[in-house]
Amino acid sequence: MNRFEGKVAVVTGGSGGIGSAISKRLSSEGAHVVICDINAEASNALAADIGNATVETVDIAKSSEARAMIERVVAQHGQIDVLCNNAGINRRGALMDLTEDDWDATFAINVTSMFYLCQAAIPHMIAAGGGAIVNTASQWGLHPAPSHIAYNTSKAAVAAFTQNLARDYAPDKIRVNAVCPGEVRTDMLAAGLKRTGRTFEDLDKLIPYGRIGKPEEIAALVAFLASEEAAFMCGSLVEITGAQAVA
Ligand SMILES: NC(=O)c1ccc[n+]([C@@H]2O[C@H](COP(=O)([O-])OP(=O)(O)OC[C@H]3O[C@@H](n4cnc5c(N)ncnc54)[C@H](O)[C@@H]3O)[C@@H](O)[C@H]2O)c1
């Protein structure tokens, strides 16, 4: 498939676990991918690997950095067709475990960055006649797992942000959707497991499908939602969980 030939796609958290799979998938289907991540080393290594990519080492929680990045992309490439708001952090804990910094950082990176990036990108998409935005929410934003109140609440906000943005900009042919993954094999999940002493294999046994998700499987869904094949999908929150129930 070559669904993104001639398209420019920005992927935040683009060199992380799920983000690198999204960057690779969109690039393999013809997109010029802008790998936007705070981790320069991983981003440069990924760009060298996939070829048709630009690295933007940016802290998306900072308004001026995030907005300037979008303007640079449009100045360099003339357009921005796809925006994947995928970067996120997970500060674990129930209410009394968390600091104000945990709460503020979670919302700054997981939610407010989307406000900056969408506000900067949407005028360019409108001028071009449309575009696609795919946000990475989480199953836990819809059905909260215990002791992740900041993360889960931020992902519920991502879900609401997605639906609001979709309603407001559908008339401009900007489709906004979100993926809501269950647990996926990445460094983020590995960090959580380290705290509890569990393994990926322990989690595999809890999933009716027999295992947790792979980054490539989330990337395939993101690519579908970003492509014209999903032309009538707008404002959808798509769960991808292997039939997992949160407990
Ligand atoms: N792994 C899971 O089980 C899982 C499940 C559901 C949803 N998610 C969501 O998927 C997304 C990707 O998660 P992942 O598992 O690949 O995690 P990850 O930690 O592997 O990747 C996150 C990436 O975001 C980047 N990042 C963090 N803060 C940033 C900032 N301020 N500016 C720019 N980049 C920044 C990191 O450098 C990293 O590359 C996140 O939004 C996460 O909440 C993950």
> Which of 53, 49, 45, 56 has the alpha carbon at shortest distance from 26?
53
Per-residue pLDDT, averaged over 3-27, amounts to: 98
pLDDT, position 44:
98
pLDDT, position 206:
94
Query: Model-level pTM?
Result: 0.98
Cβ contact 16:187 at 8 Å: yes
Which residue in 116, 151, 169, 209 is the catalytic one?
151
pLDDT, position 245:
85
What is the average pLDDT score of the chain?
97
For ligand 1, atom 36: residue with the closest CA: 13
Task: Please indicate whether residue 38, judged by its CB atom, sits closer than 6 Å to ligand 1.
Answer: yes
Per-residue pLDDT, averaged over 169-183, amounts to: 98
Catalogue all structural domains in the chain, each as residue range(s) with its CATH number. Answer: 8-182+215-240 (3.40.50.720)
204 pLDDT above the threshold of 80: yes
Residue 136 to residues 34, 49, 65, 152, 170, Cα–Cα distance (Å): 17, 24, 20, 12, 19
Q: How far is the CA of 127 from the centre of ligand 1 (A)?
A: 30
State yes or no: is 209 an active-site residue: no
Q: What distance in Å separates the CA atoms of residue 97 and residue 76, rounded to the nearest whole number?
A: 44
> Which of 223, 225, 237 has the alpha carbon at shortest distance from 181?
237
The position carrying tokens 């993926």 is 179
247 pLDDT above the threshold of 80: no
25 pLDDT above the threshold of 80: yes
